[in-house]
Amino acid sequence: MNILQDPQVKNDRVKLPFKFDPKRMLNEYLALPLNDFEYYNVIQLRAPAHLVDRSLPVPPPVEDYADGSWTEWRNTSELEKSPYLKEIVECFSEITTVTLVRLLRLAPYSEVKEHKDPTLGLDIERSVIRLTIPIIKNSEVVFYLNQIPVEMQLGECWYLNLIDSHSVINAGATERVNLTIDMIPNANLKAVIC
């Protein structure tokens, strides 16, 4: 039985009704200081406040870091220099609290092994969810969720239930770059996703 046709299986992927300009995102990405890297690289756009401003104290340890409430979150200088990417983040800030925002870079001929992120699901209590917006991809990039490819196009915005098994293969000659935005799920956001 095809998992996508089984009414008992929850939809593990939802293309959201947001579309962003891939050329503007790409131009701002290319304007950032980009380091050479092997395999995988992360550019922080929004991070815990004490990592953005080193003069701030480190928050005290907590039992559960999953929902992001353990710290304040601030835009990095990279996001402040990227007005369109900042506009995208602010779009979601109007819906809910945005926590971690990153550009995830996967090198050519690399893969992210299958894994699960136990705190990135819509139905997980005290958690955040992650939205994904592709900026750079090639025809050889495949994102698998529950062993089924997710056909994400540039500029599209996707909710993926990342508590399920997922992996990425980049068999192409160019890097893959996604904008990922973590946020606290609330009724407004759930209304958009469900």
Provide the pLDDT for residue 122: 87
Provide the pLDDT for residue 105: 97
Confidence band (pLDDT; 50, 70, 90) for 8? very low
Residue 175 has pLDDT above 50, yes or no: yes
pTM (predicted TM-score): 0.91
Provide the pLDDT for residue 18: 94
Indicate the range of 10-19, 97-106, 163-172 predicted with least confidence. 10-19
Q: What is the pLDDT of residues 150-160, one digit of tens each?
A: 999 999 999 99
Q: What is the mean pLDDT of the chain?
A: 91
Q: What is the pLDDT of residues 69-121, one digit of tens each?
A: 888 999 999 999 999 999 999 999 999 999 999 999 999 999 999 999 998 98
Side-chain-facing half-sphere of 190: CA atoms under 13 Å: 9
Provide the pLDDT for residue 125: 82
- CA 103 centroid distance within chain: 8
* Residues linked to residue 168 through DSSP beta bridges, in sequence order: 112, 143
Question: Domains in the chain, please, with CATH?
Answer: 12-193 (2.60.120.330)
Residue 2 has pLDDT above 50, yes or no: no
Confidence band (pLDDT; 50, 70, 90) for 3? very low
Confidence band (pLDDT; 50, 70, 90) for 40? very high
Q: How far apart are CA 112 and CA 168, in angstroms?
A: 5
Please list, residue by residue across 149-165, b when 16 or more beta carbons sit within 10 angstroms of its beta carbon and e when fewer do: ebebebbbbbbbbbbbe
Provide the pLDDT for residue 10: 59
